[in-house]
Amino acid sequence: MSEAIINLMSISLDEVRNVAQLARLELSESELMSFQTQLNSLLGHFEDIQHLDVTGLPAKPHAVAMQNVFAADKVHISLPRDAALANSAETKAGLFIVPTIIEE
């Protein structure tokens, strides 16, 4: 446990770079350094719950738990295609244009 805490508390610049990649955020070197400081400060603060004994406590993912909420199997009028496309930076022939994913 104590070892885990030490590991949790110190994030290297490379780890920050990796998290930014996972989060799909392009960050400048100065941003990376600033986030390293802020993340370490926040995560250091978060250490308090690491000392709490939570053995056997159920996790609570919702404010008010509900189960099996089904929608009626009915056809609804959905968003017209033009309306769905209207806010996009790039569209063509009724489709969203995205950067090339598979090269020819």
Residues lying near another protein in the complex (CB under 8 A) are found at 4, 8, 11, 16, 19-27, 31, 35, 38-39, 41-43, 45-46, 48-50, 52, 54, 57-64, 66, 69, 71-72, 79, 83-84, 86-90, 96, 98-101
Both tokens assigned to 79: 């968003």
Q: Provide, rounded to whole angstroms, the least separation between the CB of residue 4 and another protein.
A: 6
Which H or E element spans position 44? helix 29-45
State the Cα–Cα distance between residues 37 and 16, nearest whole angstrom.
10
Q: Provide, rounded to whole angstroms, the least separation between the CB of residue 46 and another protein.
A: 5
State the Cα–Cα distance between residues 81 and 87, nearest whole angstrom.
11
